[in-house]
Amino acid sequence: MEMKLQIPDAIGREMKKDQFTNWNEIIVRELFLKVSERQLVEEILKKSKLTEENAEEIGEKIKENLYREHYLAGAHS
């Protein structure tokens, strides 16, 4: 598969300074890692008994605890 990328100018200028780096190899490796991570997550989720409702409930508890630890703690400092 061939892919065309749009690289921001600032990054492109820095990449041009380094003529010894194989940028294609680096990008392919990073894409491979991202695809592998996604496959692993999908495999874990297939086996999970966690429902969407459970996940939302856990997320709300985490947000609430973070709020207490960081915002409220800062208000009393």
Per-residue pLDDT of the chain (77 residues; tens, 9 = 90+): 999 999 999 999 999 999 899 999 999 999 999 999 999 988 888 888 888 888 899 989 999 988 888 877 665 55
Q: Coil, strand or helix: which one is 17? A: helix
Asked if residues 23 and 15 have their Cβ atoms less than 8 Å apart, the reply is: yes
Asked if residues 55 and 45 have their Cβ atoms less than 8 Å apart, the reply is: no
pTM above 0.85, yes or no: no
